[in-house]
């Protein structure tokens, strides 16, 4: 929940933005409020297009100053240690500003620290290889190789759902590769990204290598991604915004994670003791606001009644409430408008014949954990990314039918299958049109060394440390004519 921009007294000044190594306060400020109860989480500066241009100026200038890989390694390692030392402060910021429970928020700082350490290590192994120039007649006297160089200035735009981890996912590889970064965090959840910037600067990051600008999308975000000096845009968010960025940025590298509509297949031989809690956690963690959260469960009809009974029993144990409450399992969505959107999608499905098995109610920004069946093919809950605490159950007659249904949507980051059959598992691996297939766990499993992303409308390129570094560097060929 974001309040309008407001003037404040000197006793309640907003957090500063980082512009090329210099901390600066900008008024009027923007209030960041918890979406459950509207409690003030913090005040932030409202950055401007001019701040963005200055940040890019300083980023470009910083690239002319040596910042060797061993120095980058040391900075990232020191910053990781600082994150670990302040893990609880980070977690409380995340729970206060967003839609993660405090227990979920506590998992982000260790992950972010690990991301920086992985980036530091991977940055020491950015290599090329020799090239066989004598493979063509007339080039026998040539010898050479290629190596990778920093792309330059990276624009990084992070979402609200994993505000610290995704910021680290963008900043860590970019810095490890030798780039300069201008980060725009979500207006809804900027606090942990600003804390991360302070830790990186305290760890010895040279001035100009990082800027963090908070502000409105149409001013800060659009100015940033369209600046011709920016060579890479790394964006995580919705497909509509991603499409708008892709159409406006000009000729530059794009790395985009644009969401999913994740299916889980449950076959008759599945271990339901393992499948039911994993799928429930994958569907309702972070109030369903997760690009690899479970949205569709495709259950073989032979076990559909038993799976459904167990699943509803599990969902009934989930407690909704404030993100700061230690006992909360599912907290508010990021805003009441988003909860209202999910309510509308739910009503559309019910109007088309879907049956609500549990949940379906909304109170402010809280949407109850909801399970539906008989969802008509083609309604928004079926075809698009719901990004909320709603999961749909489908009865299927075979693995072939399940794969066909799984592949029927335009999103495709992860799919999952629960089975004890190695043959069926590999059939799914071969035929599911996705970026990753998770066997005997939910789609919500991610390790940060994995190539992360998917085909279709799910994005461009891959995250995951090594793969992000590849996307944020360029190859340079060297050829000697002897």
Known catalytic residues are: 257, 291
Separation of alpha carbons 18 and 170, rounded Å = 16
State CA 28 to chain mean position distance. Answer: 29
- Token pair 């910042």 is at which residue? 67
- State the CB neighbour count (10 A cutoff) for residue 426: 12
- Token pair 């981890």 is at which residue? 165
Helix (H) / strand (E) containing 297: strand 294-300
The DSSP annotation for 339-353 comes to: HHHHHHHHHHHHHTT
177: tokens are 């590769």
Give the residue from 54, 50, 70, 73 showing the smallest Cα distance to 62: 54
Give the residue from 76, 86, 154 showing the smallest Cα distance to 118: 76
Return the DSSP state at 326: T
Question: Which residue intervals of 295-369 are DSSP H helices?
Answer: 304-315, 336-351
114: tokens are 């690990």
Give the residue from 26, 32, 18, 1 showing the smallest Cα distance to 171: 18
Give the residue from 327, 333, 324, 344 showing the smallest Cα distance to 287: 333
Per-residue burial over 69-100, b = 16 or more CB atoms within 10 Å of its CB, e = otherwise: eeebbebbbbbbebbeeebeebbbbbbbbbbb
Burial class (CB in 10 A: 0-12, 13-18, 19+), 165: buried
Helix (H) / strand (E) containing 475: strand 473-481
State CA 60 to chain mean position distance. Answer: 26
Question: Which residue intervals of 218-301 are DSSP H helices?
Answer: 222-226, 239-248, 272-284
**Is the CB of residue 21 less than 8 Å from the CB of residue 207?**
yes
SS3 171: helix
For the chain, give the number of residues. 482
**Is the CB of residue 176 less than 8 Å from the CB of residue 165?**
no
90 upstream amide cis, omega within 30 of 0 = no
Separation of alpha carbons 274 and 393, rounded Å = 17
Helices and strands of the chain, counted as H and E runs: 16, 22
């Amino acid at each position: 929940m974001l309040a309008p921009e407001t003037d404040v007294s000197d006793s309640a000044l907003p957090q500063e933005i980082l512009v090329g190594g210099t901390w600066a306060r900008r008024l009027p400020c923007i209030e960041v409020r918890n979406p459950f109860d509207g409690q003030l989480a913090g005040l932030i500066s409202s950055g401007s297009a001019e701040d963005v241009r200055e940040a890019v100026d300083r980023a470009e200038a910083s690239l002319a100053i040596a910042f060797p890989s061993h120095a980058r390694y040391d900075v990232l390692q020191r910053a990781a240690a600082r994150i670990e030392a302040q893990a609880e402060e980070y977690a409380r910021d995340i729970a206060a500003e967003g839609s993660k429970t405090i227990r979920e928020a506590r998992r982000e700082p260790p992950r972010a620290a690990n991301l920086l350490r992985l980036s530091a290590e991977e940055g020491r192994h950015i290599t090329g290889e020799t090239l066989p120039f004598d493979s063509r007649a007339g080039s026998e006297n040539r010898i050479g190789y290629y190596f990778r160089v920093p792309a330059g200035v990276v624009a990084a735009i992070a979402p609200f759902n994993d505000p610290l981890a995704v910021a680290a996912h963008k900043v860590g590889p970019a810095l490890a590769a030798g780039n300069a970064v201008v980060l725009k965090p979500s207006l809804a959840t900027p606090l942990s990204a600003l804390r991360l910037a302070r830790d990186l600067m305290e760890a010895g990051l040279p001035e100009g290598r990082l800027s963090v600008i908070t502000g409105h999308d149409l001013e800060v975000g659009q100015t940033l991604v369209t600046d011709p000096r920016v060579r890479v845009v790394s964006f995580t968010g919705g497909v509509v915004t991603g499409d708008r960025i892709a159409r406006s940025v000009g000729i530059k590298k794009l790395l985009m994670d644009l969401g999913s509509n994740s299916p889980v297949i449950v076959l008759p031989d599945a271990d339901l003791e393992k499948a039911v809690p994993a799928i429930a956690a994958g569907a309702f963690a972070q109030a369903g606001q997760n690009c690899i959260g479970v949205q569709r469960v495709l259950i073989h009809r032979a076990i559909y009644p038993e799976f459904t009974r167990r699943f509803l029993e599990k969902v009934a144990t989930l407690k909704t409430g404030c993100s700061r409450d230690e006992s909360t399992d599912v907290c508010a969505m990021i805003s009441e408008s988003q909860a209202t959107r999910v309510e509308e999608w739910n009503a559309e499905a019910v109007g088309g014949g879907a049956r609500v098995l549990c949940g379906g109610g909304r109170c402010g920004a809280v949407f109850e954990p909801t399970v539906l069946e008989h969802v008509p093919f083609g309604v928004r809950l079926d075809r698009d990314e719901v990004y909320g605490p709603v999961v749909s159950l489908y009865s299927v007659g075979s693995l072939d039918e399940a794969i066909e249904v799984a592949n029927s949507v335009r999103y495709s980051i992860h799919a999952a299958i629960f089975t004890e059959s190695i043959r069926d598992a590999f059939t799914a691996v071969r035929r599911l049109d996705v970026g990753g297939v998770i066997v005997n766990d939910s789609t919500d499993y991610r390790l940060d060394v994995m190539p992360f992303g998917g085909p279709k409308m799910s994005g461009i390129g891959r995250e995951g440390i090594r793969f992000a570094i590849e996307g944020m560097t360029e190859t340079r060929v060297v050829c000697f004519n002897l």
